[in-house]
């Protein structure tokens, strides 16, 4: 899967979403490899749902590579409240950006998708060949399907035009700098926020959604950034590739680990009127290791500890995230 590529100091790279939680780490990883000034468009200047803004950003950046990270994302609550926006915004950003990148003569397009694209009842560990064997879990299906269409488009443009468009699918990410707003956050930052705030207020319990039985796999954000840059550097194939740690943990066990690291000693109550989401998530990571040499380096407990420390520091400094 590897071939000779231009050196990073010779590449002009456009990173959509490059100011975000994952994107800022991808930009740092690119700079660390010698990439000069990756172009990071801001939403206030370029609305990537509008084709004219996409054409303009491609004129301004003149990239030979595009790494597409920009997305409308959130947890189960946000996906349930805004399914139309999650579908429309993600579909329009992806499909127009890939098309205009091809038209502009971009030499490589790296589409970053989501684990939510997999069918609800995919056998564990999720293998890329199972991607089309069913419908995604209902609460995030609009988001997952919108991102999945980027794979369809990438393969179609490769087939018809020879366009080098690749597709990677990270599992749930976590780490310092993540969103902790209850409406938009994912499970780890939401749990850290709940536990820390309950401890500070002396509250006797926290309430968690579902029954705690679903499992998830998490990837530390800096490991995810490394994986994406490795794929950009070394992988030119048409097939999707999972990015993960290969470690599965139940939500119930996750809550107990977060409670331990944050010092929360109260009761954990499960609200079973709220959805569980997908029953299990854990991916086969062998393709990423075999094709472009990625293997997660950060242990889950170390990554969680760093994330908790970051959150506490932000609150202590009066800039709570």
| Domains of the chain by residue range | 10-174+219-246+282-298
* pLDDT for position 4: 60
Answer yes or no: is pLDDT of 3 > 60: no
Name the burial class of residue 110, with classes exposed (0-12), middle (13-18) and buried (19+) by CB atoms within 10 angstroms of its CB: buried
Ramachandran quadrant class, 250 (left: phi over 0; alpha: psi -120 to 50; beta: rest): beta
The torsion angles phi and psi of 270, rounded to 5 degrees, stand at: -105, 125
Task: Write down the catalytic residue from 118, 143, 174, 235.
Answer: 143
* pLDDT for position 237: 97
Cα(276)–Cα(208) distance, integer angstroms: 10
Low-confidence winner among 134-143, 162-171, 237-246 (lowest mean pLDDT): 134-143
CA dihedral 201, 202, 204, 209 (to 10 degrees): 30
* pLDDT for position 13: 98
pLDDT digits (tens, 9 = 90+) for 294-318: 999 999 999 999 999 999 998 877 6
Angle at which helix 300-316 crosses helix 251-262, to 10 degrees, equals 50
| Averaged pLDDT score across all residues of the chain | 93
User: What is the helix, strand, coil percentage profile of the chain, to 5?
Assistant: 45, 15, 40
pLDDT digits (tens, 9 = 90+) for 148-165: 999 999 999 999 999 999
- Residue 143 a catalytic site member: yes
pTM for the predicted model, two decimal places: 0.93
* pLDDT for position 292: 97
Q: Which two structure tokens, joined as six digits, stand for 253?
A: 């066990």
The torsion angles phi and psi of 242, rounded to 5 degrees, stand at: -70, 145
Q: Which pairs with CB-CB distance under 8 Å and at least 24 residues apart come from 309-317? A: 309/176, 310/175, 310/176, 310/177, 311/176, 311/180, 311/189, 311/192, 311/193, 311/196, 312/196, 315/196
* pLDDT for position 37: 92
Q: Which two structure tokens, joined as six digits, stand for 50?
A: 């509008």
Contact 123, 130 (CB under 8 A): yes
Say which CATH topology domain 10-174+219-246+282-298 has: Rossmann fold (3.40.50)
State the DSSP H helix or E strand holding residue 86, giving kind and residue range, or none if neither: helix 83-103
Arithmetic mean of pLDDT, 218-222: 97
Low-confidence winner among 10-24, 27-41, 188-202 (lowest mean pLDDT): 188-202
pLDDT digits (tens, 9 = 90+) for 127-136: 999 999 999 9
Contact 69, 18 (CB under 8 A): yes
């Amino acid at each position: 899967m590897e071939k000779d590529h231009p050196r990073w100091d010779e590449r002009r790279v456009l990173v959509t979403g490059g100011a975000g939680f994952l994107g800022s780490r991808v930009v740092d990883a690119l700079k660390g490899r010698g990439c000069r000034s990756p172009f990071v468009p801001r939403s206030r200047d370029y609305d990537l749902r509008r084709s004219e803004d996409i054409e303009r950003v491609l004129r301004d950046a003149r990239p030979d590579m595009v790494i597409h990270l920009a997305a409308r994302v959130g947890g189960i609550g946000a996906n349930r409240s805004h399914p139309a926006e999650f579908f429309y915004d993600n579909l329009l950003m992806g499909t127009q950006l890939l098309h205009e990148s091809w038209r502009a003569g971009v030499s490589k397009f790296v589409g970053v998708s989501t684990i939510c694209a997999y069918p609800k009842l995919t056998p564990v560990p999720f293998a890329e060949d199972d991607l089309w064997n069913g419908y995604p879990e209902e609460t995030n299906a609009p988001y997952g399907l919108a991102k999945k269409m980027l794979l369809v488009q990438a393969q179609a443009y490769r087939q018809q035009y020879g366009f080098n468009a690749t597709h990677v699918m990270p599992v749930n990410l976590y780490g310092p700098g993540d969103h902790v707003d209850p409406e938009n956050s994912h499970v780890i930052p939401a749990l850290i926020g709940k536990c820390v705030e309950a401890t500070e207020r002396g509250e006797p319990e926290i309430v968690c959604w579902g029954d705690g039985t679903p499992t998830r796999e998490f990837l530390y954000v800096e490991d995810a950034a490394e994986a994406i840059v490795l794929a950009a550097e070394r992988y030119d194939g048409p097939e999707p590739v999972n990015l993960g740690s290969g470690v599965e943990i139940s939500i119930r066990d996750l809550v107990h680990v977060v409670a331990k690291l944050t010092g929360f000693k109260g009761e954990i109550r499960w609200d079973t009127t709220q959805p569980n989401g997908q029953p299990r998530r854990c991916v086969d990571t062998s393709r990423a290791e075999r094709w472009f040499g990625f293997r997660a380096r950060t242990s889950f407990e170390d990554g969680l500890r760093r994330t908790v420390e970051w959150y506490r520091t932000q609150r202590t400094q009066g800039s709570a995230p």
